[in-house]
Every structure is written in structure tokens, then in C-alpha cells.
Amino acid sequence: MSQAQAADTLPQLRINTEKNIESKSAFFALKANGHIKELMHFSELLIQGSSFIVVDKKGNSINLRLPDKIALKQNDNLISFQSHFKHEGEKVQFEGEISPQADQINFKYSLKCPSLETSHFVIQLNPKTYIGNTFKINERPYSYPKIESREENLWRTLVADTPLASFTASITKDKNFVLTPQSKTNLSVKYLHNRWQDNFSLYLSCEDRKSIQFSLRLPQSQENPYPLSRSQANLLSNGSFEVGTKDWGVSFSSLNNRSSYSSQVIPSPSGQRALVLDHRPVDAKYQQAFRKVKIQSEYVQIPARTPITFSFDVKSAAKVIHAKMIIRYQSAERIANAGTSSVTKYIRITPDWQRHSLSLRLPRGMNDAYSFGLEAQGQEHLEGSKIYFDGAAVRIGNSNEFTAEKELIIGADIPQKHNLFEFDQAFNLKTHIKNNSAQEQSLVAVAKIFDPYQKLVLNKKATFTIPAHQNNSDFLKDLQYQAKVLGPHKLILQIYRGNELLDQYQKAFGFIKSRPNKSLNTASKFGLHMGGENYQECLALASRIGFTWTRSGAFYNSWRAYQPSKLAWNQKFMDRNLAIIEDHEKLAMTPIVTLGVQTPRWASSAPASSPEYSLYPPTQDKYADFGEYVKKLTQSFGKRIHAYEIWNEPNTSVFYRGTPKEFAGLIDASCENISAHNPEAKIIGFGLTHYGESASGFMLNSLKHTQSNQLDGVSFHPYSDDRLSPEKTRVQTQFEWIQKDIKKSQLNSNLELWATEFGWFAPHQFSKEFTPYKNASVAKRLISEQECARFYIQMVNTSFAYGLDKLFYFIFQEGSMSNRWFHGFVGPNAEFLKAPYYAASTAIKNLDFKTCLGQERFESGLVLTRYKEDMSVLWNHTDHMFKIQTMTPLQCEDIYGNEFTLNPIDGTTTLLIGEDPIYVKSLLSPNQITSL
């Protein structure tokens, strides 16, 4: 019996194997930190979270982050947990017991800390479910308000501090859960509306200031208010790979650049082609015994708790391969930096075609979006193997048969790696179409190409016929395009039957003038925070346009990885990292070493059995061991490493759970050993978050206790407010603040400032609106690729004008098809480049190694950044015409490096300036420029 069928037969609430609570109509789950994650009635979300309001003895609110990795225990019909951690050096204990009983769930939570109290327990209701409804407190009715405009923040109290006997969420029977307190409590109901969420929140007062007990009786209705679709269509696109790899991605181990994949003509159960993965051995120098390969579909939107069946055909070339069917989704609980969650089923891939299936009710994911695929991992059994994958289908219900998604489906391949061309290369295209119908089709194909300015630069049509159930792999013959301008382009391919649009496919590509590094120059100011996906390919892409510095990615140097036990040193891991340094050197690049970040359990000062032991500093008697770890790194790396950064974001408990005083000890141990064994290397401290009160306080308090004066610089992460325009949110205020603090600390006044992270949420232009992504609660809104390119160049210039020395954009790779950072310059699975990549190419060419003379801001909104070496950069808040006084022609470039000349007439010329920065290859003075 499948998981979906089992849940449908449950007569009452019970705990399942994943320690969730469910019945035919209800589903309840906890967050990774022990709080309520969700309560659902069929596919409708009723409760979407819970939290404590924690205060100090003076009543001041405290930001207390609970550990995200608690261990749930099940004893008969009880789920319980105990979480022990430290807050500012003081021990905290968080405990919970949750038990189903007939049609209700009972809760008992407590949070204990000598200096802290819990004033309220907060339960967040889903506003989309309850808008326009009526709720009851002690049987008295009240109304939920309407959602306000998203242009304003709102915090409204609907009911204030009322003694509570019962709360009924709705008078509608499929939404009417009832909350009953088990101890004396008051209830307030509030409506929160801000830039990224709406909440109806129930505030339950904690009378003893440390615990709360209550029960939830679930809705009485057993009828699904949203009956399931009866459609039997396949919800996956291109599941038989008849039109290439459209809507699918494949990724291998981060240091495996030898393996490949493609859609190939091969006898298969569901068509004429299949996806073929050729897994080749990883270069032995990387010491990588563990292998993996992932096949992932593009995200599909399906309501949560829908019963579905995922199936596919698969075989190997020769040997048995252990693998798993996998469904990935981004968790809705908003854990910082968390990747995707998954549901899996283990299978064996044999040399004969075999169909596998997985039936279940879908868990709740961000935007109800899911990616389906196959993953294999291990050691020898993957070495030199081939996997054939075909007939992928997702259908509502229990059918595992393959059917085509559409009557006709099209695709296209650009036979150029990363879809990236040199300016003098001709663009060409390989097209595919599959007729899945039983009739011959007479069709019209249209191909359109748009340049970076959305100008239509190619429009080609072709008519053709395709027999029933057949493929055509070249229906647009001889399609070629010679670029007229640099920068990102897009292709739109459409198929019509008469005036009916049957299918459409879009691809990104672009043109650059490569400027690879000729030799390593550590004076370069441009760097990238790397991801792990397609690591070597992406290093080459970064070098191709002149990036020199990298941070993180496959090159990580955590203490825990090197020294899992006190007497063990992982030399294979060191050899791996030495090989990665060699890869950098071949590209005239250099990685920065980030020290610490993960403390091994044997050295950690964390409470016993803490799952977050790696976030704590060492115990006092283990600081010498930390110093020995730093010593071994500097001795092994020698002069090949040019900079060390101590930790990452230690002012947030996401990465560090110690005190500033304890962190000072890490600074001292690092400085002592780096200066002794590589005195030429830069020692950079902290890697602080967005510079505000938290970062400022942590840095100043740490520096009060450090015994070292050998820091060469301070690093921080000046993300712009709400991840919007650095210009309009005045990112320079962060620069002014940290510079003032450095002077206040009385350290070396020549300390360098390194921005080792900054970036924006910019999905690629063809992303589906519901595509989930990491850290979704951070940005006020998603921005476009073009905005990201613009913001990057503005940020670079403003940073240089305020004296920053190095800039590392976060993050270079968007990630895999199913696990995305929207920040990336490189699209999913490194298939194509996004607009900021092309803009960065121009910025590095024009600005690296130059001396910035400062920045001028005009009342009109114009910003002028000036460089000693005859370079000026201009942008304006809106499109506006300006007059420039000059007796000689001005050579200019746009944001993507396209050249143009301003020829003066009678000593003046005019220029339309907008938000996209323009490079003028002359040292302009402010009095040369006038608004028209």
C-alpha cells in the first residue's frame, strides 16, 4: 500500500514514520527547530508556524534563534524533544511534547533560561485561508480584516489581551479548528502585514513566563473543499527527452568535469530517444572517493497533499547501480541558507529497462512547487558507468503509465558551451520537435532573437509537415546570427498550427570579448563567492572575464573537515584543496581561505549532545588546537595562499554561537600562526553581516579583547537594504559606519575593507514565477537580470569611492535545477550566463587596478564616479538628458561594453543617462556636466 493510500484509510490522528501527525483529512508537522510548521486540512493550510516571544528581565525583546537540528523522539503516541544551546554564553533549554488524541493534538512547550523569559507563544494562521471569515473567542464572533496594499507595513491588533477559554478559527466547518488552553492564559489576535508576508497571529500569554500548554481540535469536516483534478495528463515536460534536455538538468560531483549527458537516439520504452548519462572517473588528484549524479526536472506546481505517482524507466549499461527516486521541494519553514528538502525511494538500476514508481501525498513546499528526478551516489559502482533514463511521468492518483505532456513539443540546442560566444563567432541552432498525435501536422515555426535592449534582430519563419508520432530534428535549417552588439541575448522559438500557438521555447545566450587573466595579480579588486555546482567550469568562466579572487564553493577549509578527531588529520582533504589551488593558479586566480566556521565535536564548547556543536567556539583548553589547525593550513599552503579570512558572519547565530570575547581568542590564534608561517598573506577578520547594530557591536566587543594587532583588514557583507538598489537604499551608510568604528577601535588606521559578500535576488529571465529559492523571506522583491547588472556596477563604483579594497559578489552560480540561489551570474546547471556576467566583464576591464578619486552626487539625481586613469562612470535615477562640455570626442561604453563616441559641437555634447551606468574614457569634472 502506498503512503497516499495509507493516509486515506486512517480513522483518526496518528503519528507516521516521519514523525508527522496525519489522518484522512488532516496533516500536522513540526519545524526542524521544534516549533509548529504546519497544520493542513486536505490541501488547505490553516496554521503556518509558531514561535516564542522572548524578553529579558527588563521586558526588552530578544532575538533568540533556536537550533535548526533538533532530534525528535517517538514513544508510543507521543513526540518529544529536548534542545540545549547557548545564547550569549548562557545555557538555554527548549522542550516540547506533542501527542494526538482522537481528533485533537495536545501541546506542551517550555523555554528556560536564567536571564530570559517567554512572554507569549505565537501561532501564525494562514491569511489566505481566513480572509473574509469569522473567528470566535469564548464563542463571541469577530471578523478577520482584508489584506492591505503591499506598499505599506501594518501591525494591527484585532483583539487585545482577553482571558481565553477557547478560540475557534472559523465558522466554516472545513477551517474551524478549536484551540483550548490547558492553563490560565490570555489571548491577543493581531494582523501583521509587511513586505514579504501576511499573518493572522494568536498571542497566548505564558503565565509562568516559561511554558505553555494547549490543545487543537481539528476541523470536523471530512469532505475535501477542493476536490482533486481528474486529469490523467503527465505533469512533467519532455519526460521522454524527444526534444533534447529541455526542462531537465543534470549535475555531477562538484569536482567532476569529465562526465557528460545528452539526449540520444536509442531504443527506449517511451520513444525514439532517452537521456544518457556518461559518468567518468574524477581526476585522482582531487582525492574524491564519493561520487554522485543528479537528474532533476524543472519545477512543477501541484497543490500540497495531492496524491500523485512519480514514475520513470531506467537502466544501466552493465552493472547494478544503487540509486533513489527523489522529489525535491524548498521547505516552507524559512531556515536560513537551507537547501531543498526531499522525499525518496531507494531503487536498484539494472542492465535491463525497468519502470519504477513512487506514490505519495505531496508534502507542503514553497509555492507548492516540486522537482522530480533520480539521484545515484556512492563510490565504485558509479565509476565509468552509464545510466539511461526515459519515460518520466507525474500523474495525479496511482497510475504509473507514461503519456506525453503535449500533442506537440519543441526544443532547441545551442552547440556552444554555456551558450556563450565571442563577439566574432556566429550563432547557430539545432531544433527539435516531436509530434505525439496520431495525425500528420502542418506547422509554422517562428524564431525570434532579441538583443540586450529588447530590439528584435532576427525574425525567421519556416513551414513544414511532420508525420504522426515522429521527430524532426532540424525544422529550422541554416538559422544563423552574427552579433551586432555585446551582451545577453534571448531566443524565442514558437510553433503554430494556423493561428494557434502550440508550444514555445526560450533560451538565453550572449556575446563577450574575453579578457582572461594572463598572470596572477593579487592587487585585483574583483572576486566571487563561489557555489559548489559545476565548480571547475565556473572557475574558467570567471577567469574568462578577468575575475581574480574566489571565496568558498568547493574550496572550503573548515576545522571539522580537516580534524574530525583530535588525533586525526585528513590529509586527503588537504590534497584535494591543494589540487583546487592548482586549478586556480592555472587560471591566474587565487582563493581566500576562510578559517574555522565549523568546530569539530571533540573541541566544541557546545552543550552536550547539541546538534549545532560546529557553530560554537572551542573550549578554553582547545584554543591551542585551533591554532595548530591554522598552523597546519599555512604550512601546507605556503605562499600559494594570499589571504585568510577568520570565520563567516560570527555576529549571527546561524554561523556562530559564541561570545565576542571568545571570538577574540580565535583572532589571536589565527594571527599568531599566519604571521609566523606566511607573513605576506593578508589576515582579514570577521566576515560580518550587513553592517548595522549587530555587526558593529560584535566587532567592537571582539576587538576590545583581542591581544593581536596583526589584522590587515576587516570583512563584512554590505547587502543593500531589502536587497534593492544600492543607490536608492544608500549602501554607503554602511561604509561610513564601519569606517567610523574602525577609527573608534584604535586599530591600524590603514586597515583594508573587504566586502566578501553582497548580491541580489535576480532569477533568470525565463524562470517560472513559482520557482522556489533559498532565503525567500529576505528580499522585498525579486529583481530582473538587467536590474542586477545595473546594481552590481553601481555597487562596485560606490564601494571603490568609499575606499573598499576587495569585492566578492554572492553567489556566482545559481545552482542546480532543483536547488537555487537566485543571486547567480550563471544559470541553473551552468547552462547559460545571466546579464550581470556580461556587465561584470566590462566593469573589470574598465575599473580594475584603477585609483578611484571619489564620487559626486548631483541634485538632479546624477552620480559621477571618477578614476585617476582617465575614466568616469555616470548614472542617473531616471532617464534624463545632460550636456557635457568637451572640446574633444568622448569615447564611451555602455554597461555591456558596446562602444560609442560623443562628438562635440561648439564645445558641448549631449548624453542620455539613466540607471544603467555609462563609462566615459575621460576624467570628467562635475562642472563639465549640466542637466538639460
Give percent above pLDDT 90 in the chain: 81
For position 875, what pLDDT does the model report? 98
pLDDT tens readout for residues 709-733: 899 999 999 999 989 999 999 999 9
Report pLDDT for 6. 46
pLDDT at 515: 86
Q: Does residue 7 surpass a pLDDT of 80?
A: no
Residue type, 618: P
Q: For residue 339, what are the CA distances in angstroms to 204, 237, 757, 820?
A: 32, 24, 19, 8
Burial category of 217 from C-beta neighbours within 10 Å (exposed 0-12, middle 13-18, buried 19 and up): middle
The fraction of the chain above a pLDDT of 70, given in percent, is: 96
Half-sphere exposure of 594 (CA within 13 A, CB side): 28
Number of C-beta neighbours around residue 454 at 10 A: 8
pLDDT for 289: 67
Which whole-number Å values give the CA distances from 836 to 785, 833, 848, in the listed order?
A: 7, 8, 17
The per-residue pLDDT for range 70-96, each reduced to its tens digit, is 999 999 899 999 999 999 999 999 999
Q: Which superfamily does 526-847 belong to?
A: Glycosidases (3.20.20.80)
pLDDT in tens, 525-563: 999 999 998 999 999 999 999 999 999 999 999 999 999
679 has pLDDT over 90: yes
Q: Is residue 460 over pLDDT 70?
A: yes
Q: For the chain, what is the mean pLDDT?
A: 93
3-state helix, strand, coil split of the chain in percent (to 5) is 15, 40, 45
Report domain extents, the chain: 14-217, 228-405, 409-512, 526-847, 852-931
Using 50, 70 and 90 to split pLDDT, how confident is the model at 1? very low
Q: Just give the CATH number of 228-405.
A: 2.60.120.260
Report phi then psi at 87, rounded to 5: -125, 115
pTM metric for this prediction? 0.95
Helices and strands of the chain, counted as H and E runs: 11, 59
Which of 1-15, 325-339, 909-923 is modeled with the greatest confidence? 909-923
Whether pLDDT at 752 is above 60: yes
- Half-sphere exposure of residue 509, counting CA atoms within 13 Å on the CB side? 26
Strand boundaries in 569-663, DSSP class E? 590-595, 643-646
360 contacts 346 by C-beta, under 8 angstroms:
no
**Predicted local confidence at residue 220, as pLDDT:** 83
Q: 353 and 268 in contact (C-beta within 8 Å)?
A: yes
Q: DSSP readout, 76-95?
A: TTEEEEEEEEEETTEEEEEE
Please say whether the dihedral angle defined by the alpha carbons of residues 895, 896, 900 and 901, taken in this order, is positive or negative.
positive
| Residue type at 880 in one-letter notation | H
The answer on pLDDT for 266 being more than 80 is yes
722: left (phi over 0), alpha (psi -120 to 50) or beta: left
Does residue 11 register a pLDDT over 60? no
Which residues are 929's β-sheet partners? 884
193 pLDDT more than 80: no
Q: What is the pLDDT at residue 199? A: 79
| Closest listed residue to residue 812, CA positions, set 530, 620, 597, 539 | 530
Is the confidence at residue 8, as pLDDT, over 60?
no
Question: Each residue of 475-510: pLDDT tens digit?
Answer: 887 788 999 999 999 999 999 999 999 999 999 999
Tell me the Ramachandran region of residue 577: left when phi exceeds 0, alpha when psi lies from -120 to 50, beta otherwise. alpha
Q: Which of 141-145, 334-338, 453-457, 537-541 has the lowest mean pLDDT?
A: 334-338
For 852-931, CATH gives 2.60.40.1180
3 state SS of 15? strand
Strands 167-168 and 134-137: antiparallel
The confidence band for 929, taking pLDDT boundaries of 50, 70 and 90, is very high
Q: 152 falls in which pLDDT band (50, 70, 90)?
A: low
Query: Residue 225: pLDDT band by 50, 70, 90 thresholds?
Result: confident
**Domain 526-847 in the same topology as domain 409-512:** no
Q: What is the pLDDT of residue 149?
A: 56
Q: What is the mean pLDDT of residues 852-871?
A: 97
CA pseudo-torsion sign 904, 905, 906, 909: negative
Q: Burial level of 879, CB count in 10 A (0-12/13-18/19+)?
A: exposed
How many CB atoms sit inside 10 A of residue 803's CB? 12
Q: Tell me, what's the pLDDT at 9?
A: 47
Phi and psi angles of residue 669, each rounded to the nearest 5 degrees, phi first: -65, -35
CATH 3.40.980.10 fits 409-512, yes or no: no
Sign of CA dihedral 389, 393, 397, 401: negative
> Residue 336: is its pLDDT beyond 90?
no
User: Which residue type sits at 472?
Assistant: N
Cis bond upstream, residue 811 (ω within 30): yes
Q: Given pLDDT bands bounded at 50, 70 and 90, which one contains residue 10?
A: very low
Q: Give the fold, CATH level 3, of 14-217.
A: Beta-galactosidase; Chain A, domain 5 (2.70.98)
Q: What is the pLDDT of residues 37-60, one digit of tens each?
A: 999 999 999 999 999 999 998 899
Per-residue pLDDT tens for 389-421? Answer: 999 999 999 999 999 989 999 999 898 999 999
d(Cα 597, Cα 483) in Å, to the nearest integer?
A: 46
Q: Rg for the chain (alpha carbons), in Å?
A: 29
pLDDT above 80 for 111: yes
